[in-house]
Each structure stands twice: as C-alpha cells, then as structure tokens.
Amino acid sequence: MRANLVCNKFLFSYLFVIAYATNAFAGRIEVTDDNSPYLTYKYLESLSHNTPPNVKFYSNKDFTGKPTIVIDSKGLTIEDKLVCEWRDTYKENYDKRLLLSTESDNKLGESCSRTGPIISQYELFRIEVKNDLSNDFYEVTFNDKTLYLDKKQMNDFDFHESVFTQEKEKLKSNAEAYKSLKEQDKSLRVFLENFKKCISKKDRSCLPQGDRYEALDEGWQDYVCAYHNYSIVTESSYCEKWLAHRCPVSKGLQNNDDCDEILKSPRQQRPKRSKKTEKQLTNFLWKNLEGCFFREKEVNVDRNEFSTRVTIKTNEQYDLECEISTYKNHEKDTPKWELLSIRANPRRLPDTTFKIFGP
C-alpha cells in the first residue's frame, strides 16, 4: 500500500483501518535523527550536474593519511571495502540517486543500510554532523569514534540545522505572524471571538450552511466511523451501515481506491441515526473544534495579495487541523473570515491526512 496516503473522504471499514495502521507502524523505519544537524548534496536532483558527490572522512583534523570513509563515483567505501554503490541510472534519473547495497544476495536492489552518519534511503541522501561551530571542519560519529570532514572540500554541500530546530523556529515564526495578524486585522479578532462563542454555545449558525453543512456532516461521519467508531458512536452497527452507504463497493476499500471515484448512494438513502447517535456525533465535533480554537498547538499563516489562510492545529489530545481564510476582491473590501476546511491527521496512521470538509 502507498506509504503516504492522502485521503479525500477515503472511507475504510474499522477493521481495515486497524490492519493498515498495524502494518504502517511495523514497516516504518526511522532512519534519521531529528536532533542532528545534517548536510545535503546540492546537485542530488540536478540533471545538468550528474556527478555523484565526493566526500572523504578522516580520523584527524589535519585530514592526513588514508580516509576511513569515502563517498565518490563508485559509491560508499569503508576502510577500503566498497559496501554500497550508486544506481546504474544515476546520470539519467535525478529522482533515483540512491546508494544500493553490494551484498552478493542483494537481487532486489536494496537500499544501503544506514552507515554511521550517512543516510541514503527513501529518496533521501544526507550526512548527519554534530554541529557547525568550527570554521575548518565538520565532525561526525562513526563506530563511537569522531571523524572529520574538511569544509574547504564541502562546497557542494549545504548545512541544515536539525529537523527539531527547524520545526521549533518555524513554530516560533508562525506564532509571531499569527499574533501580528490578529493585532492588525480587526475582522479576524471579531471572527475568532464570535466563533468561540458559537462553539461554547454549540450554536450551528456559525458553521457552514446549506449544502456545505451537509458536506461537513457527511465528512464528519466518515471520519468518526472510520477512525473512532465504537469509542464515540455506541449505536449498534450504525457505523457499519454508514460506511456501506458511503462506499458501497467493498472492492474499492480492498484495492485502496479513493471512494470518490465510486458511485456513492444518494443522500436520501442514508441510514437513519438515533437522537443519541446524532448527539454523540455533534458533541464530538464541538469538542474537536474547541481543541482548534481554544487549545491551539501550532499555527501556519499563508498570505498573498488577495487572501490569507490560517491553519490551526490542535494540541496532543486531538488530531485535527482547522483552516480559516479570508479573500478580498478589491483593496477597499472588508476581509470576511470563514471556516474553510477541517482535516485530521490520525495518530494511528502516520503521515496520513483525512479531509473531512472543504477543498
């Protein structure tokens, strides 16, 4: 199955979700250290520059003697032994520039296993380093020993702070942008104040109306029944009936197809839900919206000349993100904010986004 599944109202049965989640966790390999700074090769995806990187790892800061590790046109050599080599198609295919194991039983072209600080897996090539404090060298760790890279020979590489540091800086930058936006835009402050009041009162008037509310209602049931089923909806067999109604062709589920490509049952044939089930579904919706607008974990602000979008992610208790936006046709128009979309990032399915409502 696809490793990175983007679901557009992709409806699974509950058991299918559990099975998929189990496989996803079992087959997922964390090859990078998100706390480590790293180097990337500038020309890894360049067709005009199709020469593999050339890097030497020395055991001393003077870069003398025979290097312990060498990466060159042959591949990866450790202590005079070639352990991994580049794909034959390195020059032609910039998207497949990976090191492959040279083991004799490697008939399937297996990726080179992580070797100390060197990572070449999943279309990723990087060298993890300790820091960027020295003007003369980078330090790396290999077999509990420190090796050194001559910075003068590393002009073809870019230095990056750790993923953790990058995310921390991004969070800080977006939080400042969001704070500034609220200070400058009165219409946003009014929208947030009114929307919070609506959530507190569980007032449907602040939610999308008409067909857009129908779409939200359907998407929310899709999400609850596919991911939360028995923990939220206690009515016997309701979710099974709902999923059968929304995606009647079971082969679509088994073949990992998008249910939007399958003819759905008409709305008037939707299974009836009891008042208890309706209350359970709506209460869970309000609870999650409350997580977005009262207990935000992080925000992302995206602005251009005509529109502004703010994506709000909830704290760890939830897995929702809410997107609000405004659009101006003319310079004098007063911005009008609205709830644009709701998406979920289920913790049981890493790297998966489930679209509940919106574009």
* Residue closest to 337 by CA, chosen among 312, 319, 310, 314: 310
The C-alpha atoms of residue 72 and residue 53 are separated, in whole angstroms, by 6
The domains of the chain are located at: 6-27+165-357, 38-161
Summarize the confidence of residues 159-175 as an average pLDDT.
90
- Provide the token pair at 255: 């073949």
The mean pLDDT value of the chain amounts to 78
Distance CA 129, CA 152 (A): 16
Letter string b/e over residues 260-282, b meaning 16 or more CB atoms within 10 A of that residue's CB: eeeebeeeeebbebeeebeebbe
Residue 239 confidence (pLDDT) above 80: yes
Specify the DSSP class assigned to residue 295.
Answer: S
Half-sphere exposure of 70 (CA within 13 A, CB side): 12
Question: 185-229: per-residue pLDDT in tens?
Answer: 898 999 999 999 999 999 988 888 888 888 898 888 888 887 776
CA 211/CA 198 separation, integer angstroms: 20
More confident residue, 311 or 8: 311
Instruction: Report the Cα–Cα distance between both ends of the chain, in Å, rounded.
Output: 25
pLDDT bin (cut points 50, 70, 90) of residue 98 is confident
Q: What percent of the chain has pLDDT over 90?
A: 27
For the chain, strand residue ranges (E) read 6-8, 38-41, 55-57, 69-71, 75-78, 81-86, 99-101, 118-121, 124-128, 137-142, 145-150, 157-160, 296-303, 307-314, 320-327, 337-344, 353-357
